[in-house]
Amino acid sequence: MAQLSDDCFAFGGPMMSVDEAVGIIAARVTPVGEVETVSLAQADGRILASEISAPLPLPPFTNSAVDGYAVRSGDLPPQGEQAFPVTGRIQAGALARESARPGHAIRIFTGAPMPEGADTVFMQEDVRVDEAGKVVLPAGLKPGANVRPAGEDISAGHSALKAGQRLRPQDIALAAAFGLTEVEVRRRIRVAVFSTGNELVSPGAPRAAAQLFDSNRFMLMAMFSRLGCEVSDLGILRDDRASLASGLKQVAAAHDLILTTGGVSTGEEDHVKAGVEDVGTLVLWRMAIKPGRPVAMGIIGGTPFIGLPGNPVASFVTFVHVVRPTVLALAGAMQQPLVPMPVRAAFTYKKKIARREYVRVNLHKAADGVLEVTKFPREGAGLLSSLVDTDGLVELGEEITQVQPGQTVGFLSYASLI
Ligand code: AMP
Ligand code: MG
């Protein structure tokens, strides 16, 4: 378990930019140490614990890239066609038993090893076989054509997969191509998730007139799952300092991260701050981000604590910018910067300078073929429909004060965020 110091999230400034938040997290949160070995079938999405260098070149031997006829490049017809007797046949998976004789061609198939002496292959579509059974080869083929040299993909010893990278299907294919059956990965991060609020009930429970079903907890648990975490669903804590304090304290030792949603603004019914301070340390990060309000960052018994706002959209956006980098740092993963894609705005928008804003948008191709985004018509941070009915977020940097139709803006699809 990563033990973080009580002042891990200390910050002196009045407002914190998104980049400062990510920088502090990346620099101060240390990864859990434990690694485990998993089979390739279990490796998707896991964080690689140590580098993998190529134990063999890829491809491991020089082979034909096509079905055709292998020849020595010295024999290539300088001009006009030339007929070659065909001696030998090499299938994929078979060894070339004889070497290529001068003036002869060898029938060869895709993936079959090149015979000794031959270095060029004619595609079968480009040749014809004459009545005598000879293969007639045209002029103009380059020496070395249609051959895949050993190591052209990856040379032996090359640092092919890096420690801290999240394994994707193509990375797993590479490990398999090296003949590996298992890989060393970091253990999954254990996260405890609570909602807070007297107005909340869990779906399935009876709902009183002034209550609503807890939706954030299920959104946040799903986001954690997508980040590869093991999630403990700890239900709803009441707006009460003592029950918050005891609920949080109980789970600290068994988890790498504790997350709550709701109760972190500065109203008198927001008890998360006091509850955490009873059992650990806490700072409120006033982030220069919209939607989003203060995010509570704390340490309880060495375990990091994050308190997100209760409004669903604020909770979603702050998760992406604060929780995601924290999980990556705990998991020993490389930080994965979000890279907005340039698209054309089809909306007008005004914003405050020195604050980063995220606008919920739909992406589509305009009549002139350019990718364009339209803004969701309403802006409330409590509107779940604004997340459900859109494709992603437009990121408006601190320096921007307005958006005009036709302007280029940066788009982040939901799929790229989580
Ligand atoms: P709070 O941050 O506790 O002041 O909550 C802000 C708003 O978000 C209030 O309208 C809450 O009812 C709502 N809210 C808080 N937590 C949740 C939750 N888990 N699911 C849905 N809405 C929530
Ligand atoms: Mg509340």
Pair of tokens at residue 55: 């134990």
Dist. CA 220–CA 323, nearest whole Å: 10
Ligand 1 atom closest to the Cα of residue 236 is 19
Q: What is the pLDDT of residue 2?
A: 67
Pick from 202, 215, 216 the residue to mutate for probing ligand 1's pocket: most ligand atoms within 8 Å of its CB.
216
- Of the candidates 50, 47, 84, the residue with the CA atom closest to the CA atom of residue 69: 84
Pick from 238, 261, 308 the residue to mutate for probing ligand 1's pocket: most ligand atoms within 8 Å of its CB.
261
Burial class (CB in 10 A: 0-12, 13-18, 19+), 50: middle
Flag residues of the chain having pLDDT under 70: 1-2
Dist. CA 399–CA 348, nearest whole Å: 16
Ligand 1 atom closest to the Cα of residue 309 is 2
pLDDT tens digits, one per residue of 186-226: 999 999 999 999 999 999 999 999 999 999 999 999 999 99
Burial class (CB in 10 A: 0-12, 13-18, 19+), 177: middle
- Of the candidates 231, 232, 234, 250, the residue with the CA atom closest to the CA atom of residue 301: 250
Instruction: Please give the domain boundaries of the chain with CATH numbers for all domains.
Output: 18-34+188-330 (3.40.980.10), 63-148 (2.170.190.11), 341-412 (2.40.340.10)
Pick from 196, 198, 200, 385 the residue to mutate for probing ligand 1's pocket: most ligand atoms within 8 Å of its CB.
200
Ligand 1 neighbourhood includes 313 CB (under 6 angstroms) = no
- Count of helices and strands (H, E) across the chain: 9, 29
Ligand 1 neighbourhood includes 217 CB (under 6 angstroms) = yes
Ligand 1 neighbourhood includes 275 CB (under 6 angstroms) = no
Q: What is the pLDDT of residue 1?
A: 63
What residues contact residue 194 under an 8 Å CB cut-off, 6+ apart? Answer: 217, 234, 235, 236, 237, 247, 248, 258, 259, 260, 261
3-state secondary structure of 320: helix
The length of the chain is 418
Query: Which DSSP string do the residues of 75-134 spell out, in sequence order?
Result: GS-SSS-EEE-EEEEE-TTS---SPPPTT-EEEE-TTPBPPTT--EEEEGGG-EE-TTS-
Element (H, E) at 70: strand 68-71
Task: Tell me the pairing of strands 371-375 and 349-350.
Answer: unpaired
- How much distance in Å is there from the Cα of 309 to the middle of ligand 2? 8
Q: What is the pLDDT of residue 293?
A: 77
**221-231 b/e with 16+ CB inside 10 Å = b?**
bebbeebbbeb
Ligand 1 neighbourhood includes 310 CB (under 6 angstroms) = yes
Secondary structure letter of residue 301 according to DSSP: T
